[in-house]
Copies of this chain bind each other. A is one copy, B any other.
Amino acid sequence: MDTIATPAPPTLNGKHSGDMKKQSNTEYLPRQSGGDLLKEDDSLLRNALFATLRHHHPKLAAKLDVIFALSSAWSLTESDSDFQLLESRLSDLDPAELILISSAFSQLLNLHNLSEEVTQAQHERAVRMGEIEQSTRSTNRSFKKLISMNNISPTEIYNTICNQTVDLVFTAHPTQALRQSLLKKYATIRNHVERLHNSRMSPYEKLECLEAIRSEVAASWRTDEIRRQKPTPQGEMRQGLGYFHETICPALPLFYRRIDTALKQIGQPMLPLDHNLFNFGSWMGGDRDGNPFVTPETTRDVVITARLAAVNLYFSAIEKLMFELSIWRCNGELMELAKKIHDKQSADPYGLAEERKRKNFWEFYGIIPLTEPFRLVLSEVRDRLWHTREILHHCLVHPSLPLKGTLDNDPRAYATKQELLAPLMVLYRSLCETQDAAIANGRLLDTIRQMQCFGLAMMTLDVRQESSRHSDAMSAITDYLGLGSYNDWPEEKRVEWLLSELTGKRPLMPPALATSPEVADVINTFKVCAELPPDSLGAYVISMARAASDVLAVVLLQRECGVRDYMRVAPLFETLDDLSNSEAQMSSLLSNPWYKAHIKGEQECMIGYSDSGKDAGRLAAAWGLYEVQEKLVKVAEKEGVKLTLFHGRGGTVGRGGGPTHLAVLSQPPGTIQGALRVTIQGETMEQQFGEKEVCFRTLDLYTSAVLEASLNPAATPKQEYRDAMAEMSQISCEAYRKVVRGDERFVDYFGAATPVSELGRMNIGSRPAKRKNKPTIDTLRAIPWIFAWTQTRFNLPVWLGMGDAFIAMEKQGKLELLQEMYQQWPFFSVTLDMVEMVFAKSDPRVAQFYEVSLVDKELWSLGDELRQKFRDTKSILLKVVRHSGLLQSANTSMLQQKLALRTPYVTPLNLLQVLCLKAVREMEKGGDAPDKYANYSPENDETDQLLKRDPNAQRQPYKAAVEDTMILTMKGISAGMQNTG
């Protein structure tokens, strides 16, 4: 209010009017509460574990304390003296302590992750209780955002969401390191910790809750973390079904309810009852690619098991509804149906005896009077569900019975979901007509929605097989028929021949075909599919698909084996070469008039991430895929075919995992028109569906991500972005291969500086590990390749080659362009954010420690080069994303904290792993245990049992200790490296 004058010294009792200069704004402490909550739970669970340790091994607990304090101090000060102190403390542990210490750190990491989940769930809850600003993404939010910022009308939103569906396909989890039993325990611990936060307890209850936590932690401490034998496909399947039973099925109707509320708030009606926002699929028991344990029987078993789970779900829902709908008021339509059922139940002759047999229903076994029409109808539904269950049991026990036929021919069994839904819709309409909507929209609505979504199949099963197995099958046939050998035919002749057979009517399959077991397996799989109900089957995925004939061969094989409801065939192009000429193959396929008619204008294509990354480096692979998707979509549009892209997303970041919504909107614009199909792999299953709150949020994320991708797609990338990407892919690919294939020191370095050759021992997944000699890049799968480098916290496959590309661009003065690409192009920013996160979790000093201890000297030069590349790539990356330091942008500081909390747990595991690798490799070179433990024998029978926990291997104690520790460190480190939501 008064003029700006020159500054004068402040006086004591200043008499003339004072003046003040504009002062710069000050810094504010950042506001965060999740972090505190995280620390709170973290320390609760940590204390619980320490209490157990002190109870069982007091001396050890004290050692653990100092190791932990030193590890924390080191990650803060990074002084070498702390590091050596830490190393010396670890190297004079005796064998039993090795196991116990590594197990302690591994469990501490699991407990830590668990408290991250709890914090996450609390964060979700807090969001929904609105204690903090709504999180960035939720359907509710995006409604408002789309309306207010993009001027999309509410009705348009309604119509879009009414036509959008997300397919989530659960695959077996190859890297799910935690044993089922530990998973259960952690789930119980998690629930107790949440009860601590959420409900008001009496001191007794609080004490019981703390006791329950302590007793679970004590039990998990006593549980062998190492999985000693391989899980079976059925086993995996049951685990998957556990998620449905415990979180997905209850959470789904709740989620629909929230969507209805959100729609109501923008003045729209509730979702139509017959629309599914989600479909659930599975590969468990259907994916036989390189997994001989998946046999035709397996496939049949898992289908029946899934149907059993569905019938059980509805059976208990119907029983509850029978109690709730005890009302007398109904409309005409229901009265008519009730009368029909009543007459049938009272009239038919062998009633009473049958009646007897059904005896072990708890309630309502008498004939229900017409004055309770709802119960009358429901009792009929219950009887038929019970009967359907009997039939399914029967088929499970007698593998020769054709499932579909048995179900269809039995008038009392439910074969399709429409049969099951019809009576319930009658009830629903009746309640609405008699002004009893309040009752209708309770449990009845929830049940109807579950039936709509899960149907009688619970989830659809995909079948996956490698293309060459079909060609071998065709060759067996053509050889037998003397038509020559199919495998030797060029592509055109195959297509021409296949089409002639497909358009013709003549049977091809000779009855007495002598086949090899591999071919028999292929043919029997198709025969089994022919006998399964179509609503239990999803897509037939051809892995390593190369050409159009691969697809046609499968269609032909389906016809020849009696599949009447054809399964849609989805080719999976995996290698860079197959990807690059997938466009040609798809267009020749879709342009074929017969095929176009056959697919009724819909084609599904799967694109895989992992192997191309191993082959050409991350950048080239990602870009390759990006382009392929666009081309395939264009091909489909040209042919007037609706293409659904099926994304196989890996679990860990290395294999293209990472947060969902970022994954969705980093797809090329326009490739997602209201339909998305993705796989849910490995531990993402546990993370995204392990707990109801988080499951709720997952559904929320997918819905809003797809909604936004449809209603306001990101802009298509400018031409100069593409040129830059093409050039960078080409440079990074060369640089990547120059190291991985060009440098002959690499293979030896890789074998020595990482635990790649010791990985086989972890028993992860039902697929057998290949047992060839020294692992070379070509021979090993994408998973071990990435896993090995994650263990040493170097994560080479993620960034190798990327630096060269960026530096090359900078030299051409295109740094500005890259920065703009990061700002404007979601695909580029998502890719780089992921790489940045990997850098934040990497620590080259740890990798160097592996090198110094395990690699012989003349290969160290390669290490120095690689670490130099690491630093160059990091600094150029930071320039491109314009962050002063790793994860320094506003919305990732929380993330950095979480990572910082884990490092003190992970570092000791790395040091222990190095010790064990050294020991294991010496023993393999025929050296025996170091004299200090040459004749080590457990001093009491507890450690004796500790060292004999592997039922099918007799190992001398020192060896057992070292090997178990090694496996424990691998689990611990991977638990520490998993990225957080």
Instruction: Identify the A interface with B (CB < 8 A).
Output: 52, 55-56, 125, 128-130, 179-182, 184-185, 198-200, 202-204, 208, 211-212, 214-216, 218-219, 222-224, 228-229, 232, 235, 238, 241-242, 257-258, 305, 308, 323-330, 356-357, 359-360, 362-363, 366, 369-372, 393, 396-397, 434-436, 438-439, 441-442, 942, 945-946, 948-952
CB of A370 within 8 A of CB of B200, answer no
Question: Known contacts being A202-B129, A951-B370, is A218 close to B439, with CB within 8 Å?
Answer: yes
Which residues on B sit within 8 Å (CB–CB) of A229?
A: 369
Indicate if the CB atoms of A324 and B360 lie closer than 8 Å.
Answer: no
Closest B residue by C-beta to A218 = B438
**Which residue of the partner chain B has the closest CB to A203?**
B129
Residue in B215, B219, B942 whose CB lies within 8 Å of A326: B219
Do residues A218 and B951 form an inter-chain contact, with CB atoms below 8 A? no
- Contact between B324 and A356, CB atoms less than 8 A apart: no
Beyond the given A218-B438, A229-B369, please list 7 additional residue pairs across the A-B interface where CB-CB is below 8 A: A56-B435, A214-B438, A216-B324, A228-B369, A228-B371, A329-B942, A370-B951
Which of B369, B439, B945 touches A328 (beta carbons < 8 Å)?
B945
15 contacts between A and B (CB under 8 A): A55-B435, A55-B438, A130-B202, A185-B324, A200-B200, A204-B258, A218-B438, A219-B325, A224-B328, A228-B369, A328-B949, A356-B397, A360-B396, A371-B949, A371-B951
By the criterion CB–CB under 8 Å, are A442 and B212 in contact? Answer: yes
- Taking a contact as CB atoms under 8 Å apart, the answer to whether B329 and A951 are in contact is no
A359 touches B397 (CB 8 A): yes
Contact across chains for A128 and B360 when beta carbons are under 8 A apart = no
A329 to B221, CA, bound (A): 11
Give the residues in chain B near A235, CB-CB below 8 Å.
366
Give the chain B neighbours of A323 by CB distance below 8 A: 181, 184-185
A211 vs B260: C-alpha distance when bound (angstroms): 15
Distance of A324 Cα from B370 Cα, bound (Å):
48
Lowest 8 CB-CB distances: which A-B pairs, in order? A181-B326, A222-B327, A129-B202, A199-B199, A369-B951, A215-B442, A223-B326, A184-B323
Kindly list chain B residues whose C-beta atoms are within 8 Å of the C-beta of A185.
Answer: 323-324, 326
Find chain B residues with CB under 8 A from A216 CB. 324
Q: Known contacts being A198-B199, A360-B308, is A371 close to B224, with CB within 8 Å?
A: yes
Q: Which of B204, B308, B329, B396 contacts A945 (CB 8 A)?
A: B329
Measured CB to CB, the closest approach of chain B to A940, in angstroms, equals 11
C-alpha spacing A308/B362, complex, angstroms: 11
What's the nearest-Cβ distance from chain B to residue A305, in Å?
Answer: 8
Q: Hey, which chain B residues are within 8 Å of A362, CB to CB?
A: 238, 241-242
Q: What residue in chain B is nearest A342 (Cβ atoms)? A: B951
Kindly provide the distance from the CB of A394 to the nearest chain B CB, expressed in whole angstroms.
Answer: 11
Q: Smallest CB-CB separation from A179: which chain B residue?
A: B326
Q: Which residues of B contact A330 (CB under 8 A)?
A: 945
Do A199 and B200 have beta carbons less than 8 Å apart?
yes
Residues of B within 8 A of A329 (CB): 222, 942, 945
Bound together, the chains give a CA A362 to CA B203 distance in angstroms of: 36
Q: A328-B945, A951-B371 are in contact. Are A219 and B128 (CB under 8 A)?
A: no
- Complex Cα–Cα for A363 and B435 (A): 46
Instruction: Report how far A250 CA is from B208 CA in the complex, Å.
Output: 15
Q: What's the dominant secondary structure at chain A's contact region?
A: helix
Complex Cα gap A356–B393 (Å): 11
A232-B366 in contact (CB<8A) = yes
**What CA separation (Å) do A199 and B216 show in the bound complex?**
24
Is B439's CB under 8 angstroms from A215's CB? yes
Q: How far is the CA of A370 from the CA of B215 in the complex (A)?
A: 23
A840 to chain B, nearest CB (A): 33
Would you give the shortest CB distance from A45 to chain B, in whole angstroms? 15
CB distance from A936 to the nearest CB of B (A): 20
The answer on a CB contact under 8 Å between A397 and B357 is yes
Return chain B residues, CB-CB under 8 Å to A370: 951
Q: Name the distance in Å between A280's Cβ and chain B's nearest Cβ.
A: 19
Residues on the B chain within 8 Å of A52, using CB: 438
Chain B residue numbers with a CB within 8 Å of A228 are: 369, 371
Bound: A236/B325 CA distance, A: 21
> Given the complex, which residues of B lie within 8 Å of A55, measured CB to CB?
435, 438
CB closest residue in chain B, given A214:
B438
Q: List, in ascending order, chain B residues with CB within 8 A of A202's CB.
A: 125, 128-130
Q: How far is the CB of A816 from chain B (nearest CB, A)?
A: 47
Q: For A241, what are the chain B residues with a Cβ–Cβ distance below 8 Å?
A: 362
Residue on B nearest A222 in the bound complex, by CB:
B327
Determine how close the nearest CB of chain B comes to the CB of A617; give it in whole angstroms: 42
Would B328 and A359 count as touching, CB distance under 8 A?
A: no
Cβ-defined contact, A359 with B396, below 8 A? yes
A947 to chain B, nearest CB (A): 11
Closest to A239 in B: B363
Q: Once bound together, how far apart are the Cα atoms of A529 and B208, in whole Å?
A: 44
CB nearest to A324 among chain B residues: B219
**Across the interface, which residues of B come within 8 angstroms of A949, CB to CB?**
328, 371
A214–B437 Cα distance when bound, in Å, is: 12
Least CB distance, A761 to chain B, in whole angstroms? 16
Residue in B222, B305, B435, B950 whose beta carbon sits within 8 Å of that of A439 in the complex:
B222
Q: Which residues does chain B contribute within 8 Å of A198, judged by CB atoms?
A: 199-200
Roughly how many angstroms separate A215 CA and B438 CA in the complex, as a whole number?
5
Distance in Å from the Cβ of A325 to the closest Cβ of chain B? Answer: 7
Q: Is the CB of A328 within 8 A of B396?
A: no
> Which chain B residues border A436 with CB–CB below 8 Å?
218, 222
Closest to A220 in B: B326
Please name all residues of chain B whose beta carbon is closer than 8 Å to the beta carbon of A372 when the two chains form the complex: 224
Q: Please give, as numbers and ranges, the residues of chain B lying within 8 Å of A393 by CB-CB distance.
A: 360
Contacting pair B204 A128 (CB below 8 A): yes
Please, which residue of chain B has its CB at the minimum distance from the CB of A126? B202
Q: Name A232's closest neighbour in chain B (CB-CB).
A: B366
Residues in B neighbouring A242, C-beta threshold 8 A? 362
Minimum CB–CB distance for A392 against chain B, Å: 9
Specify which chain B residues have a CB less than 8 angstroms from the CB of A305 in the assembled complex.
Answer: 360
- CB–CB A363/B327 < 8 A: no
CB distance from A393 to the nearest CB of B (A): 7
Chain B's nearest CB lies how many Å from the CB of A845?
A: 36
Scoring A55, A129, A181 by chain B CB atoms within 10 A of each residue's CB, the highest score goes to: A181
A441 to chain B, nearest CB (A): 8
Instruction: Assess whether B223 is in contact with A328, with CB atoms less than 8 Å apart.
Output: yes
Q: Which residue of B lies closest to A948 (CB)?
A: B371
Least distance between A432 CB and chain B CB atoms (Å): 13
* CB of A246, distance to nearest CB on chain B (Å): 12
What residues of B have a CB within 8 angstroms of the CB of A356 in the complex? 397
Q: A252 to nearest B CB, angstroms?
A: 15
Q: Give min CB distance, A132 to chain B, whole Å.
A: 13
Give Cα A434 to B222, complex, Å. Answer: 11
A443 to chain B, nearest CB (A): 9
Query: Chain B contacts of A950 at CB under 8 A?
Result: 371
In the complex the two chains form, what is the Cα distance from A249 to B396 in whole Å? 34
Chain B residues, Cβ within 8 Å of A129? 202-204
For A357, list chain B residues within 8 Å (CB). Answer: 397
Assess the B203–A130 pair: CB atoms within 8 A.
yes
Q: Quick one: which of B208, B327, B363, B442 contacts A223, CB cutoff 8 A?
A: B327
Centre residue among A179, A199, A232 by max chain B CB count within 10 A: A199
Given A360-B396, A950-B371: A219 and B327 interface contact (C-beta under 8 Å): yes
Interface centre among A199, A215, A325 (most CB of B within 10 A): A215
Separation in Å of the A21 CB from the closest CB of chain B? 48
Q: Which residues of B contact A371 (CB under 8 A)?
A: 224, 228, 948-951
